[in-house]
Amino acid sequence: MSRFFASRIGIIVSGAIIGALAALLVLWGNPPNMGICVACFTRDTAGALGLHRAATVQYIRPELIGFILGALLGALLFKEFKPRSGSAPLIRFVLGFFAIIGALVFLGCPWRAYLRLAGGDLNALLGIAGFIVGVAIGVFFLKRGYSLGRSRPVGTAVGLVMPVFALILLLLLLFRVSFGENAPIFFSKSGPGSLHAPILISLAVGIVAGFLAQRTRFCTMGAIRDVIIMRDFHLLSGVLAFIVAAFLVNLAIGKFHPGFAPQPIAHSNHLWNFLGMVLAGMSFALAGGCPGRQFFMAGEGDGDAAIFIFGMLVGAAFVHNFNLAGVPDKIVDGKLVVGGPSLWGQIAVIVGLIIVAAIGWTMREK
């Protein structure tokens, strides 16, 4: 069975299953073209916890919980649960912080970029192009000797922090715990945060995806990186299967609408779609994994990936507290008003590009 997951057929089948399920999640209640978006879902979870107060995006997303638990299950079953940490955790926190800023300016992580494409949202092409450029810049730094150093085996507790945190979130969600009047846990009553599939379905999809991704090393960033560094198409074949499967499901359920604008929870500000994802691509490349992969590694016991996730959580809070996010396109009086990030969001992306480039330039193994 291990050999199946390691094989080309294994990752293609897994990518297709995950892609199909992601498209179906929209049918079952998730926001349009957002069956799975690791950045948006992290932001929604941050909102539910009250870390930001944007009322339309507050909901603990069970898919992310499923990612952690599914990956943990896969790791435990195949004896790959390896608590480890120590590879420049603070830098990884910063990378997570800026990765999600870039993604939320584009209004999606690479998973959502591919799902938006599979839904006909052509703005995703700009985002994907920026993402590829960002990963290529990361590879440039890798070739110069960039390294965050090796991690080391650590006590089991380190590897269990994220799974336990995920379980606590699950309980808070299932029991709709309220910590007081106007206090978390928040549940959006309108907007994307109010659109969600039933909890158990979201959780089940997350677990299946987490398990398959842990077994196959599915990674939307690695797919690009491996092509650039060594012309290896193994991970990319899984990503392509993901896109094609999501596309076919969208066609079948009538959720394929090609065009640039208006597209749901998206904007057509081409420059910032591109630049936001350059920042995201660089950050994920320097951190060694796309946001999904960081969750799967955290489920395997990787404490450094867990810190990256906490960086994303805090970054998402900053995005909505400081008005950095991309604003979707709107139709006003029958005319299209192109959205995009505020001036603060644009500044944040530029600052992020500089800081992440500085990390890429200066971090070397001691």
Partner 1 sequence: MEYGVVVFYSTSWALKAEKVAKEGGFEVKLIPTPRQISSDCGTALRFRWEDREALLDLLESKGVRIEGVHKI
Rounded to a whole number of angstroms, the minimum distance from the CB of residue 170 to partner 1 is 24
Q: Which of 232, 244, 270, 355 binds partner 1 (CB under 8 A)?
A: 232
Q: Does 281 engage in binding with partner 1 (CB under 8 A)?
A: no
Which of 288, 328, 339, 341 touches partner 1 (CB under 8 A)?
Answer: 288
Does position 72 interact with partner 1 (CB under 8 A)? The reply is no
Size of the site for partner 1 (CB under 8 A): 32
Of residues 160 and 229, the one with the C-beta less far from partner 1: 229
Nearer to partner 1, 196 or 215 (CB): 215
Residue 293, interface with partner 1 (CB under 8 A)?
Answer: yes
Question: Should residue 216 be labelled a site residue for partner 1 when binding is judged by CB under 8 A?
Answer: yes
Does residue number 235 form part of the binding site for partner 1 (CB under 8 A)? yes
Mask 3-32, x = binds partner 1 (CB under 8 A)?
A: x-xx--------------------------
Beta bridge partners of 121: 259
Residue 145 binds partner 1, judged by CB under 8 A: yes
Query: Which of the stretches 128-136, 146-154, 179-187, 240-248 binds partner 1 when contact is defined by CB under 8 A?
Result: 146-154
Asked if omega into 262 is within 30° of 0 (cis), the reply is yes
SS3 readout for the chain: CHHHHHCHHHHHHHHHHHHHHHHHHHHCCCCCCCCCCHHHHHHHHHHHCCCCCCCCCCCCCHHHHHHHHHHHHHHHHCCCCCCEECCCHHHHHHHHHHHHHHHHHHCCCHHHHHHHHHCCECHHHHHHHHHHHHHHHHHHHHHHCECCCCCEECCHHHHHHHHHHHHHHHHHHHCCCCCCCCCCCCCCCCCHHHCCCCHHHHHHHHHHHHHHHHHHCCCHHHHHHHHHHHCCCHHHHHHHHHHHHHHHHHHHCCCCCCECCCCCCCCCCHHHHHHHHHHHHHHHHHHCCCHHHHHHHHHCCEHHHHHHHHHHHHHHHHHHHCCCCEECCEEECCEEECCEECHHHHHHHHHHHHHHHHHHHHCECC
Q: Does 149 participate in binding partner 1 (rule CB under 8 A)?
A: yes
Strand partners, 327: 340
Interaction of residue 230 with partner 1, rule CB under 8 A: yes
Interface segment toward partner 1; rule CB under 8 A; list 39-47, 121-129, 288-296, 309-317: 288-296
Beta-strand relationship, 326-327 and 335-337: unpaired
Among 217, 255, 267, 320, binds partner 1 (CB under 8 A): 217
Tell whether residue 208 is a contact of partner 1 (CB under 8 A): no
- Decide whether 147 or 194 has the Cβ nearer to partner 1: 147
Task: Based on the shown chain and the rule CB under 8 A, indicate whether residue 237 belongs to the binding site for partner 1.
Answer: no
Is 167:37 a contact under the CB 8 Å cutoff?
no
294 binds partner 1 (CB under 8 A): no
To partner 1, the closest distance from the beta carbon of 222 in angstroms equals 5
Judged by CB under 8 A, which of 289, 303, 341, 345 binds partner 1?
289
To the nearest whole angstrom, how small is the minimum distance from the Cβ of residue 293 to partner 1? 7
**Part in contact with partner 1 (CB under 8 A); list of ranges 23-31, 56-64, 253-261, 286-294:** 286-294
Q: Compute the distance between CA of residue 324 and CA of residue 316 in angstroms, rounded to an integer.
A: 9
**80 forms part of the interface with partner 1 (CB under 8 A):** yes
CA angle 241, 127, 337 (to 5 degrees): 125
**Binding of residue 177 to partner 1 (CB under 8 A):** no
Binding site for partner 1 (CB under 8 A): 2-3, 5-6, 75, 80, 82, 142-143, 145-150, 214, 216-217, 219, 222, 226, 229-230, 232, 234-235, 288-289, 293, 300, 364-365
